[in-house]
Amino acid sequence: MQQFLLLLRYFRRQPRFLALIAVFTLATSLLAALQPWPMKLLADHILGSAPLPGPLHRALEALSLDSGATVLLGIVVIGTLLLFALNSLMDVALTWCWTVAGRRMVYDLAEDLFARLQSRSMLFHKRNTVGDIMSRITVDSWCVYQAAESIVFSPAHALLATIIMVFLMAQLDAQLTLLALIAAPFMVAASFLLGKPLRAAAKIKREIESRVHAHIQQTLTGIPVVQAFAQEEREALRFQKFADAAIRSQQRSALLGSVNSLSSGLITTLGSGLVLWVGARHVLGPQHLGIGSILVFLVYLNSLQAQMKVVAGLYTTAQGLSANMHRVAEILETPPEVADKSDAALLPPVRGSVRFENVTAGYELGYPVLKNISFSAQAGQTIALVGATGAGKTTLVSLIPRFADPWQGRVLIDGHDARDIRLKSLRDQIGIVLQESFLFPLTVAENIAYGRPDASRGEIEAAARAANAHGFISALPEGYETVIGERGATLSGGERQRLAIARALLKDPPILILDEPTSALDAETEHSIIDALRRLMKHRTTFVIAHRLSTVRRADCILVLKDGEIIESGTHEELLARKEHYAHLNRIHSAEAPSLHAAAI
């Protein structure tokens, strides 16, 4: 219910369309109620001999037309056609209104969801798969439209139509109206109960279909593993099994559907028969009910049943929608983990000093990953982080651009607490190159200029040259205009990293984070980009994480992390002289790869 109120906001943004929809709905209800009346005229006054109703008689006199069969027949034909045309027109108008208003609601909601999801933390995105998030934006957002239509307008329409019809029926024959009113809910209830196995089968069918989806997605996502282990056949067999199950469930659904329509058809006929029987007795009896009135009754009985089905299905529809609404509300109602404070100030251009004061941070409450970390980096210095895998290096640097906030302590950038400044102004001054760089399926130039879309071609090329990337870019089929990922324009790991370096160079940030930028590369490729990295690090405060100690020797300060704590810090020489942890790491490393020392940054 609360989720429903949340969605109401999106209905309210379309007041004009909603008003139009209300008007058209009212009109269609009236038109639908009028539909059987020409037939009544035909049965009672043309085929039968009942005197014309007063208003019609007077209208004919006013138009000086006689009340002969031809004129009346003309009225019946024209009336039927007119009602049909008007009704169709209203239908078109309603569909159009719903298309515009519904789509606007859906896209408004999807836009909000997209914005919300973009501002959620890295941790949230690690925990939720892209597939799940995609379906929240593209599938679940339709719930706002479905809710408006099936929870608000359809029941309102049904109620209105019922009231109009019952009123008209009561004018014709009160007793028969009562009978219809009693019979209709029974007929609806019976077909509703009979529909239960059908709905259960439909649910199973959906489940199996979603398993087929999941299987395809998982297999294709893991295609390198599937192919490497030559398991295509097994995955194909699993697909076949799912497909068989899907076919069986669809067979069952189809069979149950036929049985259901047969049985509910029988019940409908039974109900109509009852009304017909009692109605016929009224025609023969002293009530003098016209045959036309019975026809009107039968049409109304059908329509009543349809309207009641809408109301009866309301609960099921709402329940079906509530799962989607819940998933949407979850995103809309959860505030982003990291957000600007209301009084957050702009961070002026910084020199680049970074200071950690007693920082404790982590992912799961009660399990701190970083414990009481304190250090400071002067502007322009290079700080290297070393330590075993899982020591907390990535976690530590992720606090600088505020991908997460510390639980205790603070992170200061040029003396400003990172939590007191606007995120954008902070992140604008930080460049990041990760182990594997993501490139968008855009042109090479657009990828390099991702952080500064207004950069000129000259600036882009200068950045690419400094990153040692100009050479291979020029050799691409369309140079800087080559779209990455298209027509075989895939890049090697080293080339991708050089584009990432160019991207960071163009952004020209005072603070730089390098999280193992070379560790996915072989020694030779690493050597080819170290030049570029050095140029990138010049005149910036740089945090560099590396497993290969060769890359950290020149750092102004090396922090050795173990289990979330800094256990040693100092320059390469100082730490070697201490002959403790770092010296030990260095020994192992030199034994493994002595030649790499030459490549030190």
Residues that bind Mg ion (CB under 5 A): 394
Check binding of 573 to ligand DGT (CB under 6 A): no
Q: What is the DSSP-derived secondary structure letter of residue 370? A: E
Rounded to the nearest whole angstrom, what is the least distance from the CB of residue 593 to ligand DGT in the complex? 17
Check binding of 123 to ligand DGT (CB under 6 A): yes
Q: What is the DSSP-derived secondary structure letter of residue 565? A: E
Check binding of 394 to ligand DGT (CB under 6 A): yes
500 contact, one of Mg ion, ligand DGT, none, CB 5-8 Å limit per kind:
none
> How many amino acids of this chain bind ligand DGT (CB under 6 A)?
13
Check binding of 517 to ligand DGT (CB under 6 A): no
353-372 footprint of ligand DGT as x/- string (CB under 6 A): ----------xx----x---
Tokens of 578: 């201490």
Residue 58 CB coordination number (10 Å): 11
Nearer to Mg ion, 253 or 394 (CB): 394
Check binding of 407 to ligand DGT (CB under 6 A): no
Tell me how far CA of residue 9 lies from CA of 102, 155, 590, in angstroms: 13, 20, 64
280-319 footprint of ligand DGT as x/- string (CB under 6 A): ----------------------------------------
Query: Roughly what angle, to the nearest 10 degrees, separates helices 69-118 and 15-34?
Result: 150
Rounded to the nearest whole angstrom, what is the least distance from the CB of residue 96 to ligand DGT in the complex? 48
The span from the CA of 235 to the CA of 253, in Å, is: 27
Three-class SS state of 288: coil
Check binding of 264 to ligand DGT (CB under 6 A): no
The span from the CA of 178 to the CA of 303, in Å, is: 15
Rounded to the nearest whole angstrom, what is the least distance from the CB of residue 388 to Mg ion in the complex? 11
Q: How far out from the chain centre does Cα 142 lie?
A: 9
Nearer to ligand DGT, 364 or 454 (CB): 364
One residue of 137, 176, 278, 391 binding ligand DGT per CB under 6 A: 391
Rounded to the nearest whole angstrom, what is the least distance from the CB of residue 394 to Mg ion in the complex? 3
Helices assigned H by DSSP within 399-492: 423-427, 444-448, 457-466, 470-475
390 contact, one of ligand DGT, Mg ion, none, CB 5-8 Å limit per kind:
ligand DGT
Strand partners, 306: none
Nearer to ligand DGT, 108 or 337 (CB): 337
Nearer to ligand DGT, 195 or 392 (CB): 392
Q: Are the CB atoms for 395 and 367 separated by under 8 Å?
A: no
**Cβ within 8 Å of residue 464, ≥6 positions away:** 448, 470, 473, 480, 499, 502
Nearer to ligand DGT, 394 or 542 (CB): 394
Check binding of 393 to ligand DGT (CB under 6 A): yes
Nearer to ligand DGT, 233 or 364 (CB): 364
Nearer to Mg ion, 381 or 519 (CB): 519
Rounded to the nearest whole angstrom, what is the least distance from the CB of residue 321 to Mg ion in the complex? 42
Check binding of 126 to ligand DGT (CB under 6 A): yes
Check binding of 129 to ligand DGT (CB under 6 A): no
Range 115-122, long-range pairs (CB < 8 A, 24+ positions) = 116/331, 116/332, 116/336, 117/331, 119/336, 119/339, 120/334, 120/336, 120/337, 121/336, 121/337, 121/338, 121/403, 121/404, 122/398, 122/403, 122/404
Check binding of 546 to ligand DGT (CB under 6 A): no
Q: Are the CB atoms for 560 and 387 separated by under 8 Å?
A: yes
Nearer to Mg ion, 150 or 394 (CB): 394
Check binding of 392 to ligand DGT (CB under 6 A): yes
In 3D space, the residue among 120, 153, 158, 115 whose CA is nearest the CA of residue 137 turns out to be 115
Rounded to the nearest whole angstrom, what is the least distance from the CB of residue 434 to ligand DGT in the complex? 10
260 contact, one of ligand DGT, Mg ion, none, CB 5-8 Å limit per kind:
none
Is the four-CA dihedral 263, 267, 272, 277 of positive or negative sign? positive
Q: Are the CB atoms for 361 and 353 separated by under 8 Å?
A: no
One residue of 177, 395, 550, 586 binding ligand DGT per CB under 6 A: 395
Q: Are the CB atoms for 536 and 501 separated by under 8 Å?
A: yes
86 contact, one of Mg ion, ligand DGT, none, CB 5-8 Å limit per kind:
none
Sheet containing strand 541-545, edge to edge, reads 430-433, 511-515, 541-545, 382-387, 557-562, 565-570
Binding site for ligand DGT (CB under 6 A): 123, 126, 363-364, 369, 387, 389-395
